[in-house]
Amino acid sequence: MRLQFILSEIGQGLRRNLSMTISVILVTFVSLTFVGSAALLQLQIGKMKDDWYDKVEVSVFLCPQNSSKPTCAAGEVTDEQKADIQAALDAPEIKPWVEKVYFETKEQAFEAFQKQFKDQFWASAATADDMNSSYRIKLTDPEKYQVVADVVSGRQGVEEVQDQRKLFDNLFLVLDRATLLAGGLAIVMLVAAVLLITTTIRLSALSRRRETGIMRLVGASTMFIQLPFMLEGAIAATVGALLAVGGLWVGVEYLVTDWLGASVTWIPYVSTADVLTVAPALIAVAILLSAISSLVTLSRYTKV
């Protein structure tokens, strides 16, 4: 009997404030979509870092002809200088951090250059003599770049030491800032959602003040009186959260997996499984929003 009464009260409350309930659902949907997007973007960054950082190499570019670097004052790198660099990389204190070292000649560098820039008109003017020979070093731990760089930097015959991770730092910086932007918008929308849920519960409580007064007179507990209002907010917020999960799932499935995944295949993308991983957190946030709004509102507007 009590359950039937609570359900009927919830139904009446949702019907009486239908427009406000729809507004709560929409604002919760938008705000949690931003929250979910920020979470998925962080997962995407994590996947890219895990994949790319494991593949990147330290490149030790050797002196070409006519370089202005002080370490290249003697001209193009000599065989003796190459041997000295190789010995430094084979040193016992460096060996644990080096997984593999291979040497790329100027001819091999030129071949790779032509493959990469074959469609550019200016690439035809380059020759093998314009290229740098280099040592490509695969590290056992990409975080130990500086240990290896310190050993070879400044040696005669070395023009530049480059960590390929730095090539991705700007990209990850942009993605991190996009995450912060999405998070900031999410916070604004979450505040709006809390205010809307609070307003909806307040209007519902005011419209049924006479009923709650009668319930208080016949001995109903505070929890029994407040429960329908709390559930109304929780239902609206949960529906918004489910819509947000559905929207993220559709976006990842059709925009990321089908569209981006088909056109740019070398990036590890988030999947719908990641959306399902984020989904419980979004629903929990929706319930938390409703709980906060209920606590703020009901203690005041259900008093008789």
Q: Between residues 116 and 86, which one has the greater pLDDT? A: 86
Q: Which CATH number is 57-163 given?
A: 3.30.70.3040
What pLDDT, on the 0 to 100 scale, is given for residue 2? 55
Cα 195 from Cα 190, distance rounded (Å): 9
pLDDT tier at 304 (50, 70, 90 boundaries)? very low
Kindly report, residue by residue over 13-25, the tens digit of the pLDDT: 556 666 667 777 8
**pLDDT value, residue 246:** 94
pLDDT band at residue 279, thresholds of 50, 70 and 90? Answer: very high
Residue 155: which of 73, 100, 90, 97 has the closest Cα?
Answer: 73
* pLDDT at residue 73 in the model: 84
Average pLDDT, the chain: 76
Across residues 275-300, what is the average pLDDT? 80
Residue 259 has a pLDDT of 85
In the chain, CATH 3.30.70.3040 sits at 57-163
- Phi, psi torsion values for 145, nearest 5 degrees: -55, -45
pLDDT digits (tens, 9 = 90+) for 8-59: 555 555 566 666 677 778 888 888 888 888 888 888 888 877 776 666 678 8
Burial of 147 (0-12, 13-18, 19+ CB in 10 A): middle
Sheet with 134-139, strands from edge to edge, namely: 98-104, 134-139, 58-62, 158-163
